[in-house]
């Protein structure tokens, strides 16, 4: 197996699931354990300026081999170390499906968990390829340990092949991206790159520089709980108010009903009883005006419901999380053009698609570091059906090397 696969299979054994309820940075100790191991590896392969801070941000440098008389942009490659809280990342057991035959893949015979092309037709694109899957009990962790493995393997390849000319390259690995905090303490000045790419995308060829505008909405509803036998005229059931609120949002504007550039309201969790119910929503839209309208709509629904009841029983807090990086990247289109050219030169058909989500790059772009996103090769992130084709990982390594080479040719 190639080095990138060996690295990936090692990395997924680390439990780095982030925790939104935690107030620490990083949110889980497992991320620091993984970061320390990566730091040792980066030093061992020969990278310079390797640093790991107390918050779990790991950075390193591959020095330019162009000579002092050539100045080219310093480029960065960034990935995140945490895995999603949506499903366990502990005790990940991988399966390597050699020469996939196009049929069902039994992930877990005991539980009857099957990865089937009937449910995931994209599997048919990988007939004859080697595929890495889970055993059906955890997520895989290709989001984003595949990105980390690909970046490190590319850096090692450049070190071992000095005939490939490149400028100064910075790499950065962040914690807590999956809970929206990956860029919170990212030191853009210390990173000192002119531009960067997150290696955090999905299938082969993805090249992304548009993402959702994103907000989180936390709603607290206070009820009045009394014995149901004497509740007439007294009880106010917060669960029923929550149901009212949910039903006032458009049913067709949810993740399951939208695609492409369509935005949504997503009810992430409901926790409650008669006395108190808490709702957690995320709000997403590519268009800034529609994004504002969505937030306003939710605010007006809460205001109307508060008027209906004897007092203001609903509290709403909306917090913006990140914004669409498109307007930043479009002022730096060379970043996209170079990645596009690199893909074509190594035989990949570029797929420029909007990110129906966000990356660290979205926030970093607004912090002064234009950072679009390129593929890792993975599919079905955040769940037990996650898989990644081996050849796609190898192509990601090749792409990183080619991007570095193309930037090494600029400014000559």
- Give the pLDDT score at 180: 87
Fold identical between 3-211+324-408 and 213-322?
no
CA distance 42 to 272: 47
> With respect to CATH, is domain 213-322 assigned 3.30.70.360?
yes
**Whether residue 160 lies in the annotated active site:** no
- Give the pLDDT score at 359: 83
DSSP letter for each residue of 129-193: S-EEE--SSS---HHHHHHHHHHHHHHHHHHH-TTS----EEEEEES-GGGT-TTTT--HHHH--
CA distance 314 to 329: 39
User: Per-residue b/e over 74-109, b at no fewer than 16 CB within 10 Å?
Assistant: bbbbbbbbbbbbebebeebebbebeebeeeebbbbe
Q: For the chain, give me the number of helices (H) and strands (E)?
A: 10, 17
Are β-strands 95-97 and 131-133 bridged in parallel, bridged antiparallel, or unpaired?
A: antiparallel
Domain ranges across the chain: 3-211+324-408, 213-322
Q: Are 244 and 236 in contact (CB under 8 A)?
A: no
**Whether residue 177 lies in the annotated active site:** yes
Are β-strands 387-389 and 95-97 bridged in parallel, bridged antiparallel, or unpaired?
A: unpaired
- Flag residues of the chain having pLDDT under 50: none
- Helix/strand/coil for 372: coil
Residue 192's contacts (CB-CB under 8 Å, 6 or more residues apart) are: 74, 170
* Annotated active-site residue in 41, 82, 253, 360: 82
What's the gap between Cα 29 and its chain centre? Answer: 20
Residue 144's contacts (CB-CB under 8 Å, 6 or more residues apart) are: 79, 80, 81, 177, 199, 200, 376
- Give the pLDDT score at 318: 98
* Annotated active-site residue in 143, 156, 177, 253: 177
Q: Are 377 and 389 in contact (CB under 8 A)?
A: yes
Region of residue 99 (phi > 0: left; psi between -120 and 50: alpha; otherwise: beta) = left
Nearest to 374 by CA among 406, 322, 335: 335
Domain 3-211+324-408 sits in CATH at 3.40.630.10
Instruction: Give the tens place of pLDDT for each residue, 142-197.
Output: 999 999 999 999 999 999 999 999 999 999 999 999 998 999 999 999 999 999 99
């Amino acid at each position: 197996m190639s080095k990138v696969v060996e690295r990936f299979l090692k990395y997924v054994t680390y439990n780095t699931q982030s925790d939104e309820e935690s107030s620490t940075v990083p949110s889980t100790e497992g991320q620091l354990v993984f970061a320390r191991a990566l730091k040792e590896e980066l030093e061992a392969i020969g990278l310079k300026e390797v640093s790991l801070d107390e918050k779990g941000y790991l950075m390193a440098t591959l020095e330019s081999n162009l000579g002092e008389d050539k100045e080219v942009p310093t480029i960065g490659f960034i990935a995140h170390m945490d895995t999603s809280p949506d499903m366990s990342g502990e005790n990940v057991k991988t399966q390597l499906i050699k020469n996939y035959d196009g049929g069902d893949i039994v992930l877990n015979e005991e539980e009857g968990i099957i990865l089937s092309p009937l449910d995931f037709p994209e599997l048919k694109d990988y007939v004859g390829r080697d595929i890495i899957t889970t055993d059906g009990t955890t997520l895989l962790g290709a989001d984003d340990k595949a990105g980390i493995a690909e970046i490190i393997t590319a850096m090692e390849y450049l070190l071992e092949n000095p005939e490939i000319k490149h400028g100064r390259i910075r790499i950065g690995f962040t914690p807590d991206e999956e809970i929206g905090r990956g860029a919170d303490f990212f030191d853009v000045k210390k990173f000192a790159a002119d531009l960067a790419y997150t290696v955090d995308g999905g299938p082969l060829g993805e090249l992304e520089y548009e993402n959702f505008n994103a907000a989180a909405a936390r709603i607290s509803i206070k009820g009045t709980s009394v014995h149901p036998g004497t509740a007439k005229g007294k009880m106010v059931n917060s669960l029923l108010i929550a149901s009212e609120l949910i039903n006032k949002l458009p049913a067709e504007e949810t993740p399951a009903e939208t695609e492409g550039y369509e935005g949504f309201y997503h009810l992430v969790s409901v926790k409650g009883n008669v006395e108190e119910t808490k709702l957690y929503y995320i709000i997403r839209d590519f268009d800034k005006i529609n994004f504002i309208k969505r937030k306003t709509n939710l605010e007006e629904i809460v205001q109307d419901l508060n008027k209906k009841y004897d007092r203001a029983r609903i509290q709403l807090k909306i917090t913006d999380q990140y914004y669409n990086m498109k307007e930043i990247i479009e002022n730096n289109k060379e970043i996209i053009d170079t990645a596009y050219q690199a893909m074509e030169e190594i035989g990949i058909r570029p797929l420029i698609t909007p990110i129906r989500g966000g990356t660290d790059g979205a926030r970093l772009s607004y912090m002064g570091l234009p950072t679009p996103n390129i593929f890792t090769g993975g599919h079905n992130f955040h769940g037990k059906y996650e898989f990644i084709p081996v050849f796609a990982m190898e192509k990601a390594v090749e792409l990183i090397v080619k991007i570095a080479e193309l930037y090494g040719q600029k400014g000559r």
